[in-house]
Amino acid sequence: MSVTARVDALIVGARCAGSTLAMHLARAGKQVMVVDACDMPSDQPMSTHFIPGCGMAFLDELGIGDKVRAFAPPVPLFINGVEDARARIAVPPDKRGSCPRRTDLDALLVKESGAAGADVRLRTKLVELVRDGGRIVGAVVEHDGRRESIRCKWLVGADGRNSTVAELVNAEEYHGYDTPRAAYWAYWPRPASYGEDPRYSGAAAIVHSAKDYFFIFPTNKDQLLIGIGFPVERLPEWKGRHREEFFDRVRRYPLTAPLTEGEPLSQVIGILKMRFFFRQAAGPGWALVGDSGLSKDPAPGLGITDAFRDAKALASAICEGSDAAVTAYWRERDTHSIELFEFARQLGDTAYNNPLNHLLFSKLANDEGLRRRIVAVQNREISPFAAFSPGEVIGWCLGALLRGKFGVVAPFLAAGKHGGEVKKELGLRRRLLDEARAGVLAP
């Protein structure tokens, strides 16, 4: 098969990570091809759609933030909590995020990557890799039954958590686990009064009740994403009647009931089995970005922003040009992500609704200073594990014990153990990053 094109980067996957990577590279003067097996627009079902203010800043840097805000207005408020302990966290205008539907966001990103100079080919799938010794030097792609051989300096997998690129390069998974939850959701019309209704005030919401959590994301101008996450052990209760079970639960829960009285705009969508992981994200001639290399629990809505962040970092490494630079990108990704990964893991855990978190959200609900810290966490200004200081938590727990609320002890000890494990893991990732950076600096 003859070679039909030669490019600096061949990117497999044209959504959040792939298209933004293509924009960065094309604007840096690199020859870029993007292929995706899907057509656009097409939906991406496992997505809260949430992009915090720091994520929108990446889009602003690319000159398209306001285009996203035009169809997905900024979210002014978050409602978070467990049971009746709920905090209403107002977000300053300059730090607000948006929740665009992926049909609109991904289509825009594909269009903009083409406008930046990338050669974008949809309905084009990766068939096999081309190797020269141990290095990836190209790939065979197929469109409408016709195959082409593309040569490239770098092959990038941006093709999601079930990445074909990751499979073909045998990218090793590590620090992974299977989700303890399943989830169902649907889209409803957003009431015209949603922004003024004092129960919501335009908010996005995640509230835990018993072993479940309910979520609302105001996506696009006229829609709400509403759903429920529940322990996977309860899937037999849903088998054969998931639609009825879903409607029953969201129409009985006080926060979601007023919003789900009518018929939804979509089918009821579900994710019943998920695995979250890190994967080796660099090798000779190849790299992974986005969910193909790092997949986190979607509950806190971290994935899109991380895809933007890592696409920018990978573009810089590819422009530098060395294997060592791309390896350093991988190790830096891990260092920046481990605390967020573990934070998402906590939020998705079936034990999240416990007396300690009830206490923390009670404090949060009544302290504006603490709520500002949560906004700082959301915008990556401080670690999720720095939102509450150890001294504060110990003091609050001692107060609870004096009031006879001994249920805080077990989750407090578990949180301390988990925090120690995260700190140890972060130390390991930093050491690996230092070693990778030393390789970049070596002559």
Count CB-CB contacts under 10 A for residue 395. 11
What's the CA dihedral at 62, 63, 65, 68 to 10 degrees?
A: -100
Where does the pLDDT of residue 119 fall: very low under 50, low under 70, confident under 90, or very high at 90 and above?
Answer: very high
Q: Are 224 and 216 in contact (CB under 8 A)?
A: yes
Distance of CA 232 to the CA centre of its chain: 21
Confidence at residue 392, expressed as pLDDT on a 0 to 100 scale: 95
* Average per-residue pLDDT for the chain: 95
Confidence at residue 158, expressed as pLDDT on a 0 to 100 scale: 98
Count CB-CB contacts under 10 A for residue 11. 32
Q: Are 339 and 384 in contact (CB under 8 A)?
A: yes
- What is the rounded CA–CA span in Å between residue 169 and residue 75? 40
259-264 contact pairs (CB < 8 A, 24+): 259/188, 259/191, 259/194, 259/216, 259/224, 259/226, 260/188, 260/226, 262/188, 262/189, 264/186, 264/187, 264/188
Judged by DSSP in three states, 211 sits in coil
Q: What is the mean pLDDT of residues 326-334?
A: 98
Q: Are 104 and 15 in contact (CB under 8 A)?
A: no
Closest Cα to residue 32, out of 20, 19, 18, 22? 22
Q: Which CATH number fits domain 181-271: 3.30.9.100, 2.60.40.10, 3.30.380.10, 3.90.1150.10?
A: 3.30.9.100
Confidence at residue 44, expressed as pLDDT on a 0 to 100 scale: 67
pLDDT tens per residue across span 272-302: 889 999 999 999 999 999 999 999 999 888 9
Q: What is the mean pLDDT of residues 300-309?
A: 94
Handedness of CA 396, 401, 405, 406 (dihedral sign): positive
Confidence at residue 443, expressed as pLDDT on a 0 to 100 scale: 58
Q: Is 259 exposed, middle or buried (0-12, 13-18, 19+ CB in 10 A)?
A: buried
Judged by DSSP in three states, 124 sits in strand
pLDDT over 90 (residue 47): no
Closest Cα to residue 369, out of 108, 89, 164? 89
pLDDT tens per residue across span 2-37: 678 899 999 999 999 999 999 999 999 999 999 999
Omega within 30 of 0 (cis) for the link into 41: yes
Confidence at residue 442, expressed as pLDDT on a 0 to 100 scale: 65
DSSP letter assigned to residue 51:
B
**Cα-based distances in Å from 318 to 156, 282, 292:** 10, 11, 18
Confidence at residue 1, expressed as pLDDT on a 0 to 100 scale: 64
Confidence at residue 440, expressed as pLDDT on a 0 to 100 scale: 75
Confidence at residue 439, expressed as pLDDT on a 0 to 100 scale: 80
- What is the rounded CA–CA span in Å between residue 176 and residue 178? 7
Where does the pLDDT of residue 162 fall: very low under 50, low under 70, confident under 90, or very high at 90 and above?
Answer: very high
Q: Which residue has the tokens 């467990």?
A: 82
pLDDT over 70 (residue 149): yes
Name the helix (H) or strand (E) containing 105: helix 102-115
pLDDT tens per residue across span 362-419: 999 999 999 999 999 999 999 999 999 999 999 999 999 999 999 999 999 999 999 9
Where does the pLDDT of residue 338 fall: very low under 50, low under 70, confident under 90, or very high at 90 and above?
Answer: very high
Q: Are 14 and 35 in contact (CB under 8 A)?
A: yes
pLDDT over 90, % of the chain: 92
Q: Which CATH number fits domain 3-176+274-345: 3.90.1720.10, 3.50.50.60, 3.40.50.300, 3.10.180.10?
A: 3.50.50.60
- What is the rounded CA–CA span in Å between residue 342 and residue 385? 10
Closest Cα to residue 355, out of 396, 383, 297? 396
Confidence at residue 48, expressed as pLDDT on a 0 to 100 scale: 80
Helices and strands (DSSP H and E) totals, the chain: 13, 18
Confidence at residue 342, expressed as pLDDT on a 0 to 100 scale: 97
Domains in the chain: boundaries: 3-176+274-345, 181-271
pLDDT tens per residue across span 169-215: 999 999 999 999 999 999 999 999 999 999 999 999 999 999 999 99
pLDDT over 90 (residue 45): no
Confidence at residue 11, expressed as pLDDT on a 0 to 100 scale: 98
pTM comes to 0.95
Q: Which residue has the tokens 């979250």?
A: 276
pLDDT over 90 (residue 168): yes
